[in-house]
Amino acid sequence: MDGKIIDGKEISRQIKEEVGREVERLKQDGCTPGLAVILVGNDPASASYVGSKERTVKALGMHSEVIRMAEETSESELLGEIDRLNGDPAIHGILVQLPLPKQIDEQRIISAISPDKDVDGFHPINAGKLMAGLDAFVPCTPLGIMVMLERSGVSLKGKHAVVVGRSNIVGKPMSMLLLQQDATVTICHSKTADLPSVTKQADILVAAVGREGMINKEHVKDGAVVIDVGINRGEDGKLRGDVDFDAVLPVASKITPVPGGVGPMTIAMLMSNTLESARRAFKEGRC
């Protein structure tokens, strides 16, 4: 079993430690990285995500600003807040916690964040740069998966990677990153015919769907590396992934658990992107 389960908690701890050290170095040069997180409304899951981001930012010695706005906040009020943060030299990363209340157009909000401070990597400019292979902020979840694969010694060159899910946040950027590392990439989605016949070809299988346990033994080739992005809360209140972990464990060569796999990496990469943004600002005299 040794090394078979990819320990996202441990890898994320290492990343955070490294980021913390670099933050101290940058602070000695006179630049304190700053992350602003905007939370609109009262969704308890969103509030909990924002709370853990705030704690991590502070623990790593960065400047944290959390803006809590009422459920009935208008789009123009939110745009005003983003505009203020875009112009604030103490802030290097801006994150708007999704989902947003229905009166607010998510895409308009994402596009209003300065691409230079878009540490979530959701802005169309950063998405386009990733597609073109240019330097860009990359969405934290797929970026974290790439780091996990690298630190677990998984080589990608010439391998067949199958990504189940094509969202802008996970599936599409994941596919681009795997392609950049010379994997042969197949993207599956809800209209894919005979999903198991496609996933069964994967050397590396990434499940990013949001359906508890949908990937089982029939979907996985012997020896495949299986990455489970899904976060599903079962009726018993427990978190489970998209992969039926117990069924797939004997077949996979490596596998990520839920919780303790991809989830902790996402927040670590948010810290890493914020540090990177501050470094760029410092170099350009904007910090």
Interface with ligand NDP by CB under 6 A: which range of 25-33, 104-112, 168-176, 272-280? 168-176
Min dist CB 221 to ligand NDP, Å, is 17
Residue 169 near ligand NDP by CB under 6 A? yes
Residue 33 near ligand NDP by CB under 6 A? no
Residue 230 near ligand NDP by CB under 6 A? yes
Candidate list 41, 210, 251, 282; residue touching ligand NDP; CB under 6 A = 210
Distance of CA 168 to the CA centre of its chain: 11
Candidates 93, 92, 101, 45; CA nearest to 69 is: 101
Residue 163 near ligand NDP by CB under 6 A? no
Site for ligand NDP in 86-145 (CB under 6 A): 141
| Nearer of residues 34 and 263 to ligand NDP, judged by Cβ | 263
Q: Which residues are catalytic?
A: 53, 97, 120
User: For the chain, what is the total number of helices (H) and then of strands (E)?
Assistant: 10, 10
Please report the DSSP string for 154-174 in residue order. Answer: ---TT-EEEEE---TTTHHHH
**206 is written with which tokens?**
């990434």
First to last CA, the chain: 47
Site for ligand NDP in 178-197 (CB under 6 A): 188-192, 195
Count of Cβ atoms closer than 10 Å to residue 260 Cβ: 16
Number of residues that bind ligand NDP (CB under 6 A): 25
Candidates 172, 165, 232; CA nearest to 199 is: 165
**40 is written with which tokens?**
């609109």
Residue 6 near ligand NDP by CB under 6 A? no
- Residues engaged in binding ligand NDP (CB under 6 A): 141, 164-167, 169-171, 188-192, 195, 208-211, 229-232, 262-263, 266
